[in-house]
Amino acid sequence: MASQSVSLLFGVHAHQPIGNFTEVLVDAHLRCYQPFLHVLSRFPEFKFALHFSGWLLDFLFEHYPDDMALLREMVERGQVELFSAGETEPVLAVIPNRDRIGQIETFSKKLEKKLGQYPQGAWLTERVWESTVVPALVDCGIRYAIVDDYHFICAGKTKDELIGYFTTEEDARTLDLFPISEILRYRLPFSPAHEAVAYIESLAESSANNRQAAAIYFDDIEKFGIWPETYQWVYESGWLEQFIQGVLASSKIIPRHYRDYHASEKTRGVIYLPTTSYIEMNEWTLPAEPANAYASLVQQAKSAGWYEHSKSFLRGGIWKNFFSRYPESNWMHKRMLTLSARFAALPVNQRTDEMRQKLYASQANDAYWHGLFGGLYLPHLRRAIYSNIVELEALLDSCVSRPTFFIEDTDLDGVDEAYLHNKNLQAVVKLDGSASVCELDAYHLRHNFGDTLRRQTEHYHCRVHQGAHNFPKHNDAGIASAHDRIDLKQQIVSSDLTVDNRAQSVFIDEFNGMPIIYQLESHDSSSVRFLSTVDQGSIVKELKLSENNLSVAYSLSGELTGSIACEINLAMPSCDGVGGRYIKNGVEVLGGFGQNFDLDELTNITLDDIVLQGALILRISEPVKLQANPHFSVSQSEGGVEKIMQAVKLKLIWPVSIKKLKIVLEVDDKSK
């Protein structure tokens, strides 16, 4: 009877970012996906839901066909319910509706083809909820979706009410919503198995009046083997098997599919959720000072004992804040939106599957944000986004050409950008007075050399300053969640946390240590010319695109004393790894990109990069002084706090006695 039992709706979400290293995917499978499936396959009566993101699913089918055959067998015997989402795991709320529909349909059809089941339910990436996603979900055949119970609490519900699903509507479409239990998210798999089972059993008391209560869990599968300490805890110490056996032995718990519960139980009523994500994400979206203030308020509320009753009134930011918080994220997003519109404007017979795949890959969520997770600080994940953006742009240009020069405000920041491009290169010049290049694309290499990241103050930096010995310790039974720990993966000193006061662009100029402010003077189809008046003289700066070259010519006139400095920040895929090296005058290997160099009388240096399968050759018309340094940032992940190289920082310095100087960046595509 309903009054004696509770339905356990257990689901897990598996995802790896597009562009992640192969060794990371292999490790994730061997420590998590494979053992998880193998353990659960021994208990066919334990029903559960599963979502693999599309790119990860393709990887597993290619490299681990036996495990995927096991998964298909588990689906066919009715043990596994598959959940849909966007094909590349986009945040649906930040892509156009046409792409939402395309992404969901693409992935649902893939599940049906590969695993034999067309899904009724959907996983929402990072549980980011906006009501605008409802029409696309419903139009793709989705009947229910999963969000946090926090979303419902923010709408005025109490936790005692959140033991079933509710119904919402938007634009004449109705969608049912299941609230994920925050308590279960923090208990599984971190508390002892018997305690987790006992808690689920206690929810059976909520069933009454022939209505079956549900214990609702849907969270990252990576907690079951990849998070710190979890492989030993979940598999070697047997937590997962103990939990399953405890559930199956219980007279009060009935493992069920979401679809079966949805079909047999009625909605608990209508609900309208605010725009939000999970609690932690709402903190991560805030800039450092507001995030610290928010975290302080939360801690005060917890200490005073009123947080749980009133936390819906202590709400942080929304996911889209990442675009206003990180200009680099915003730039990627707006570039993607522009290409989406160009793709949609093509005649249907010109839209290719390759174009669509590149567009969807450029919408993958990971590189657009940062918190405990998210990959904005990871250059290889941003590189994957830009690789698809650059490839898609080249494909679109082959169908409908663009002017070789045009001006627009791409990122909606109130400052225009000037675009110079040909079939090989594209340079986007910021018209903010710096006359610097914010994007430098090599189409054949599928790479943006301007893909750098400025250092910002992050809310966890204050804890880094404290030192690892001051971080909170976990004293309860079980193991600590990644949310409750911060470890230093390497030594971090105060200078590592220096904040950049400007974008890390290409060709940023200084006169005697002060920024040079330029005015746009003229342009033609392949060049743009700027003028700056300094002291008793002037500086003309002209950027010109030609074949595989971007050149910058400086002309000085008048009474000037001192020196000019030009800073060139370049995204090199090898970063401080073994694949990158400086080569002087084409023959002398100086060292790797992670090293510091001071060179005098330099006229030629090559940045050779094995990962890129290409090189950048820097030629200067007159001998100059070069300072070369790696540019690092400090960020956190579930594994701890670490330094990550973001760019090669080259600084060229020459006296004003050199009235004319030309710097040429030549792209060497070794794959041709």
CB burial of 183-216 (b: ≥16 within 10 Å; e: otherwise) equals bbbebbbbbbbeebbebbbebbebbeeeebbbbb
Residue in 154, 216, 172 with CA at minimum distance from that of residue 6: 216
| Active-site annotation holder among 99, 126, 411, 432 | 126
Residue in 361, 388, 409, 510 with CA at minimum distance from that of residue 451: 388
Q: Examine the residue annotation and report whether 67 is marked as an active-site residue of this protein.
A: no
Integer angstrom CA distances of residue 154 from 151, 213, 311? 5, 21, 8
Bond from prior residue into 189 cis (ω within 30 degrees of 0)? yes
Element (H, E) at 558: strand 549-559
CB burial class (10 A; 0-12, 13-18, 19+) of residue 504?
Answer: buried
* R_g over Cα of the chain: 27
Q: Which amino acid is at 340?
A: S
| Active-site annotation holder among 58, 139, 170, 220 | 220
Residue in 501, 503, 479, 459 with CA at minimum distance from that of residue 641: 459
Q: Which structure tokens are listed for 69?
A: 């055959």
Q: What is the largest CA-CA distance in the chain?
A: 93
Q: Which amino acid is at 571?
A: A
Q: What is the DSSP string of 354-385?
A: HHHHHHHHTT-SGGG--SSS--TT-HHHHHHH
Q: Examine the residue annotation and report whether 432 is marked as an active-site residue of this protein.
A: no
CB burial class (10 A; 0-12, 13-18, 19+) of residue 257?
Answer: buried
Q: What is the DSSP string of 420-481?
A: EE-SSEEEEEETTTT--EEEEEETTTTEETT--------TTHHHHHH-GGGSPPP-SSS---
Integer angstrom CA distances of residue 338 from 95, 166, 316, 334? 11, 36, 29, 6
Active-site residue list: 126, 220
